[in-house]
Amino acid sequence: MVSIREIFLNDEHDIQYSNTVFEQYVQNISSIEKGLVDLKLQESIANKDDKKQLKLQIKNAEKSLKVMKIAMKSMNKFKSSFEVDKSTAK
């Protein structure tokens, strides 16, 4: 996400490409969230050995989601402020 801010917005002023990358990022988050629901359902019916492995996968997915959501919010704020700055500069 830092590269989007630094390269595509600050250097290139390419809001459209930044929006495209941002939307793909949001779709990836959504996909991971759906996968997390599936893992939790599998965990609820799994045997003891499989539950341990599934819990680890769930924990890792939740950590990834947390970091990705923070990055997404940060990028959205930066993107929005960049769009406002660009429109007021005209």
The 10s digit of each residue's pLDDT in 29-85 is: 999 999 999 999 999 999 999 999 999 999 999 999 999 999 889 888 876 766 666
Instruction: Report which DSSP code applies to 6.
Output: I
- Cα distance between residue 41 and residue 81, in whole Å: 40
The reply to whether 19 falls in a domain is: no
Q: Which amino acid is at 30?
A: S
- Cα distance between residue 11 and residue 31, in whole Å: 31
- Which structural domain range is residue 33 located in? 25-75
The reply to whether 56 falls in a domain is: yes
Neighbours of 47 (CB within 10 A): 7
The reply to whether 54 falls in a domain is: yes
- Cα distance between residue 18 and residue 3, in whole Å: 10
What pTM was estimated for this model as a whole? 0.74
The reply to whether 45 falls in a domain is: yes
| Number of folded domains that form the chain | 1
